[in-house]
Amino acid sequence: FMNEENIGTNAMSVVIKSKMPVQISGDDHFINAYHKWTCSAAPIKDNKGRLIGVLNLTGYIEFVHSHTLGMVIAASNAIEEMLKVKEYNKIQNMNYKHIKNIFNSSPVAIITSDINGKIKICNKKAQNMFGIRGNKLETNNMEDIIENWNNIKEPIYLGESTSKETIMVSLRNKIQYQVTTSSIYNYDDDNNIEIVYVFEKFKKINKRNNGQAYYTFGKIMGQDENFTKVINYAKKISDSKSTILIMGESGTGKEVFAQSIHNYSSRVDGPFVALNCGAIPKQLIESELFGYEEGAFTGAKKGGNLGKFELADGGTMMLDEI
């Protein structure tokens, strides 16, 4: 009980009141028994500036030194710094766990490497995609994962962010993915450039795969009442998740309606893949629809082939002459 209410004026009570360092000596103390002492005290504050304690050094009055209070202040400052570091480490640890959970919960594969392609870190999605040994990827170099890695990394020197289609290598086969690269650039050290790779399933389809739908309802000409009803009905069902059956004689515009339905739906940014089932032998329809891996059968394309259903993911699949 060193507060002023219990023993009157003393170094600790003054610090508690003023929150400032102080030295009380001899008969400056209220209690006679303390007149033989010199007390040097300094406040200890938390990182928000709140008083949480007092550090006090007491000695016989004849041994007092002018630097004693300075030593106490330095010691209290050191304690405050240690408390700040402890709090900072606690926050850093929480932030690290937070970022790690987000990093590993991401639905896309993320890898970082140095400018030479040596892999530094990767998330669980990347581990599952490219194969793991223990808790690490099978390889420690990006050249083993991306076939054209040198082309991918080229813009990184300029500090650019790029996004392009690329061929990936997994444990099982080669797969097509969209990779976005960006740099963590240290302008003070050219050797300290880190590349971040984000791999996403490739959804855009090129023209030879019928990946674009050109027709829209606005381009369909006709004023017949029944024809107009069909257009309005097609608009209503365009966002349906159910399969839509379009029937009509050859040349009546079934694919025009299929493309218009796609372009009117929420899937408009996805691919539109058309497949003429009548032109494919029944023995090959399975490999066309579902794809195959390299070496699956005699004559299989090197690197395998993506199935039309996979190519149409997120968009619309039209089976003509089914």
Domains of the chain: 4-102 (3.30.450.40), 106-201 (3.30.450.20), 207-320 (3.40.50.300)
Over residues 31-45, mean pLDDT: 93
**pLDDT tens digit sequence for 78-106:** 999 999 999 999 999 999 899 888 888 88
Over residues 234-241, mean pLDDT: 90
Residue type, 1: F
Over residues 291-296, mean pLDDT: 78
Handedness of CA 206, 209, 214, 216 (dihedral sign): negative
DSSP string for residues in 80-144? HHHHHHHHHHHHHHHHHHHHHHHHHH-SSEEEEEETT-BEEEE-HHHHHHH-EETTEES-SBGGG
Confidence check: pLDDT of 224 > 60: yes
The pLDDT score that the predictor gives to residue 154 is 56
Residue percentage of the chain with pLDDT more than 90: 32
Residue percentage of the chain with pLDDT more than 70: 80
103 burial type by CB count under 10 A (0-12 exposed, 13-18 middle, 19+ buried): middle
Query: Is pLDDT larger for residue 49 or for residue 192?
Result: 49
Over residues 268-275, mean pLDDT: 87
131-135: long-range contacts, CB 8 A cutoff, minimum separation 24: 131/170, 131/171
Query: Is pLDDT larger for residue 138 or for residue 232?
Result: 232
Please tell me the number of Cα atoms within 13 Å of 54 on its side-chain side.
25
Confidence check: pLDDT of 208 > 70: no
pTM: 0.43
